[in-house]
Structure 1
């Protein structure tokens, strides 16, 4: 269970790519507390997400590159048990805030498990898996983090000030999600997993994502301008600039030779640039929106 190969499949550093949702929720949470902040961050990024990664890796049994692992080692039964240990730890940590937050972690985990488990395997349903993954990694996680950071419960999902920014994070993920599958067509088709990217085709994936990125940009712009936060509006556009430029350059290469340029390396660089840009922006937005620096 504690073999190095099992720990590699947890892909703990990959949690960095999902941090923008947490930082966005942090920027808008009204009742911040240092202890809760630490618990929510650790339970999500060091235990829940790695548990999900390991559990899905165990059932996928990928032989080629996956997100965060260029050459994934062969999975063992120990990985399955290690992922469950991380899952239980995340729930126990959640209870330190309240039972409702812990139950949200449980719901997220069960949906994530259904993504690859053979009895359900949402992954083989292209549009359903796209909707579910974008909603739960985006809007649901935003609400979950918001509730945990402020010691609230399930009622947060009835509040427009939570659902609107949460929905924005889902829009962003619905645009990027197919790009994470674009280099896995061969292995996915071999297993019978008809992912959305496989359904759309490689060039079609880029066209589809570009439309959703445009919708995301418009909606985020409206969000900041509606709050009279011009600095947030311009900051978001500045953060997205390197992401859009990289995407356009990558797409131009794909149009010339889709098989050569839809590879793991280029897809991971898209993830890195997006994550760095958005994490920096949302940390800045947190400091700006909460005016926390004025305390010092």
Structure 2
């Protein structure tokens, strides 16, 4: 673990375990933040990638385990009840927010909510536990909350953005999608340049807002946990427990918001808006 000032402690806990191609040293793990930045685009945040995959496997494993042991007679167990509640919850959100017909949307909404929720929940693990174990195993840096890494939140948002574009072109067609951009919100030929500016800007801000909202809230929560860890032991328990209880709401709410906005954006991609055939 890093020793030194409070600033060193904070920097240490906010630094990822980075593996990449250093200009002079070849492929290696970064020893500091400056060296990690020098690795450029080819650098990989190993901890972020590992925990993201682990939470995805945990999600799939739990749901597969329940699906193969589902009970229709008698009283189902607590895990089956929890999974069924999540399924019903995601289906309700899709029914309320999605106005098209697409069998992919409900499973996508469920996957987004549960996966992000599991990644966010890692923020409730005390900040020194996993880094201490990682340090004993030889890793100087090790973050465990994937959603505090903008690479993850931007990646999720870009995935949603690609789906928005895909369904916009598939449902509306290239001409229909172009008309929507050109004749919304003002249905007039003279307003096309202004409409294009507004619509393209709005389209691009969707993934940006998704990514920054999730990252900002989770990163701020992690920083607060780190600051609490700098306080005396008895003060830590006084502050960390109430903050952890409140943070349960934060991590759930952020997963819910990401899911709902995804469904809303994809619903808009399935709606058709035709522009005028001739100038009014």
Band of TM-score, shorter chain: 0.3 to 0.5
TM-score w.r.t. length of structure 2: 0.35
Q: In terms of Rg, which structure is larger?
A: 2
TM-score w.r.t. length of structure 1: 0.33
> Which structure has the highest helix share of the two?
1
Relative contact order higher in (CA < 8 Å, ≥ 6 apart): 2
